[in-house]
């Protein structure tokens, strides 16, 4: 069997870390098994779906390196939906219901007050043709419910193991609105059948929906695909990440924060699994390590601090050629390999390099607490040319002249030359600043 999977986001919100993780898992499964990955935009909600969100999803996936083999949009498939929906009506699995929202709300409230589950009572199945005509004469239009068989619904989930529901414990779901528009549930099932999806991989928030979907597949004469429901992502406070809140959007992480692609991929590929979270540098490496057997059912927590740590580790392994175009886009065309290797260990995100470029090229406000010491240091400044041995020669001369050593020697020099108490090694940074700028900063006292 050739694996065929799909990532089916709703463009009612942006692509955020949680949905990106699901997309990555689906994509990894496809690539691990030499299968096909489909991007399907589930835009049946015409009111809340936007083209801006569609483009955000596509551009986010592209940036992550998740290419798709097939593409479809639900809004283009009305004819196919109508055909399958009519089949369900004809075989009695879809039935019309005329209750208003207020009437349904009252039924739910009554059941809950009696400490009973708010399961639809199927009253509409008992309606006569005359009663239906009367409702329609009053201007009521029916919504359509799927009649669940009151039998066990069981599958072996690739993440959760054996999952079991029972039809008698579930409400018949509404599949078609009063205005005739089909809902996500039936559209998703029809699409999965028509596109030959072999495995459905999605978030665990869909488990109950899946129980209904299993019977919809069977009612349409199809075998349900294999199923895997992965845990959602939680935040560090224990809540669930939500696209509704716009939390951690992929575009923002990429364009505004400056997170490296493989830093995010490394984190969301490993979070919630038994593998250690560590920097991964190629998608081939990520694919090779993928296995549903490694996934836990515990809620994994997305830690932004961990993302920054991974980002720094990945940056620290990158060469100048890997970032040169991006540096040029920042207006830093003159950075050479010496500067890159000097400051690279101090970068958390690439844009941090602008701060160190400013430190090297100025102007900088020196921090000088001992003007006399600064004067001695200026007098002992070696002549040009400078290289990475200049720093050691200089500090040895200062040490001999002042008897200072350790932090009392190095920290005043760092503060005077960079205006900061931390940063790249001064033996690397000193030649980049240059003798004239060093002299000017020491004389600022």
Task: Give residue-wise pLDDT tens across range 310-334.
Answer: 999 999 999 999 999 999 999 999 9
Is the model's pLDDT at 245 over the cut of 80?
no
What percent of the chain lies above the pLDDT cut of 90?
Answer: 91
Could you tell me the residue ranges of all domains in the chain?
Answer: 4-70+185-230, 80-176, 243-315, 334-445
Residue 240 pLDDT class (50, 70, 90 cuts):
low
Closest CA to 439 of 335, 346, 362: 362
For the cut 70, the answer to whether the pLDDT of residue 239 exceeds it is no
Give the pLDDT mean for 78-105: 96
pLDDT, mean of residues 219-228: 98
- The class of domain 80-176 in CATH terms is alpha beta
> What architecture does CATH give domain 243-315?
Orthogonal Bundle (1.10)
What is the rounded CA–CA span in Å between residue 109 and residue 101? 12
Q: Yes or no: say if 424 and 343 are a contact pair by the CB < 8 Å rule.
A: yes
Pairing of strands 152-157, 161-166: antiparallel
Q: What is the 3-state secondary structure (H, E, C) of the chain?
A: CCCEEEECCCCCCCCEHHHHHHHHHHHHHHHHCCCEEEEEECCCCCCCCCHHHHHHHHHHHHHHCCCCCEEEEHHHCHHHHHHHHHHHHHCCCEEEECCCHHHHHHHHHHHHHCCCCCCCCCHHHHCCHHHHHHHHHCCCCCEEEECCCCCEEEEEECCCEEEEEEHHHCCCCEEECCCCCECHHHHHHHHHHHCCCCEEEEEHHHHHHHHHHHHHHHHCCCCCCEEEEECCCECCCCCECCHHHCCCEHHHHHHHHCCCHHHHHHHHHHCCECCCCCCCCCHHHHHHCCCHHHECCCCCECCHHHHHHHHHHHHCCCCHHHHHHHHHHCCCCCCCHHHHHHHHHHCCCHHHHHHHHHHHHCCCCCCCCCHHHHHHHHHCCCCCCCCCCHHHHHHHHHHHHHCCCCHHHHHHHHHHHHCCCCCCCHHHHHHHHCHHHHHHHHCCC
Question: Is 24 or 238 the better-scoring residue by pLDDT?
Answer: 24
pLDDT of residue 235: 72
pLDDT digits (tens, 9 = 90+) for 323-367: 999 999 999 999 999 999 999 999 999 999 999 999 999 889 999
Q: How confident is the model at residue 45 (pLDDT cuts 50, 70, 90)?
A: confident
Q: What confidence tens digit (pLDDT) does each residue in 388-430 have?
A: 999 999 999 999 999 999 999 999 999 999 999 999 999 999 9
Better pLDDT: 193 or 301: 193
Please determine, for residue 243, whether its predicted confidence score (pLDDT) is greater than 60.
no
The label of the residue with tokens 């955000």 reads 56
CA angle 212–110–180, rounded 5-degree value = 45
Per-residue model confidence (pLDDT) at position 248 = 82
pLDDT of amino acid 242:
47
Q: What is the pLDDT of residue 1?
A: 75
Mean pLDDT value across the chain: 93
List pLDDT tens digits, range 297-310: 998 889 999 999 99
Please, are residues 415 and 367 in contact by the beta-carbon 8 Å criterion? yes
CATH of range 4-70+185-230; options 1.10.240.10, 3.40.50.1000, 3.40.50.970, 3.40.50.620? 3.40.50.620
The structure's pTM equals: 0.90
Please report the pLDDT score of residue 246 as a whole number: 44
Identify the CATH number of the domain defined by range 334-445. 1.10.10.350
| Span 9-25, average pLDDT | 94
What is the tens place of the pLDDT at every residue in 106-138? 999 999 999 999 999 999 999 999 999 999 999
Mean local confidence (pLDDT), 55-79: 97
């Amino acid at each position: 069997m050739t694996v065929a999977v799909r990532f089916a986001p709703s463009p009612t919100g942006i692509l955020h870390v949680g949905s990106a993780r699901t997309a990555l898992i689906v994509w990894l499964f496809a690539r691990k098994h030499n299968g096909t990955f489909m991007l399907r935009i589930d835009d049946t909600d015409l009111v809340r779906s936007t083209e801006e969100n569609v483009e955000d999803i596509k551009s986010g996936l592209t940036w992550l390196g998740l290419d798709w083999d097939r593409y479809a949009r639900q809004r283009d498939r009305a004819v196919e939906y109508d055909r399958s929906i009519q089949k369900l009506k004809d075989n009695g699995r879809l039935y019309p219901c005329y209750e208003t929202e207020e009437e349904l709300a009252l039924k739910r409230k009554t059941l809950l007050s009696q400490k009973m589950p708010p399961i639809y009572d199927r009253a509409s199945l008992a309606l006569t043709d005359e009663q239906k005509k009367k409702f329609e004469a009053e201007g009521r239009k029916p919504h359509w419910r799927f009649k669940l068989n009151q039998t066990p619904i069981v599958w072996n989930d690739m993440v959760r193991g054996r999952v079991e529901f029972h039809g008698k414990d579930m409400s018949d779901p509404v599949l078609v609105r009063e205005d005739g528009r089909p809902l996500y549930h039936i559209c998703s099932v029809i699409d999965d059948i028509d596109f030959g999806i072999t495995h459905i991989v999605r978030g665990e928030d869909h488990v109950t929906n899946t129980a209904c979907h299993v019977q919809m597949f069977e009612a349409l004469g199809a075998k349900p695909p294999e199923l895997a429901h992965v845990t959602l992502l939680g935040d560090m406070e224990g809540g669930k990440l939500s696209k509704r809140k716009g939390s951690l959007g992929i575009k923002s992480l990429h364009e505004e924060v400056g997170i490296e692609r493989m830093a995010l991929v490394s984190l969301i590929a490993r979070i919630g699994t038994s593998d250690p979270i560590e920097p991964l540098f190629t998608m081939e490496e990520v694919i090779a390590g993928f296995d549903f057997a490694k996934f836990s059912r515990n809620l994994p927590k997305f830690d932004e601090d961990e993302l920054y740590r991974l980002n720094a580790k990945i940056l620290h392994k990158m060469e100048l050629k890997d970032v040169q175009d991006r540096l040029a886009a920042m207006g830093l065309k003159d950075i050479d390999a010496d500067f890159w290797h000097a400051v690279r260990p101090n970068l958390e995100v690439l844009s941090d390099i602008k701060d160190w470029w400013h430190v090297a090229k100025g102007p900088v406000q020196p921090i000088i607490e001992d003007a006399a010491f600064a004067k001695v240091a200026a007098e002992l400044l070696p002549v040009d040319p400078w290289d990475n041995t200049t720093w050691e020669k200089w500090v040895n001369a200062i040490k001999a002249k002042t008897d200072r050593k350790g932090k009392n020697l190095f920290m005043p020099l760092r503060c005077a030359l960079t205006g900061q108490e931390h940063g790249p090694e001064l033996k690397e940074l000193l030649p980049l600043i240059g003798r004239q700028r060093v002299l000017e900063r020491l004389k600022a006292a």
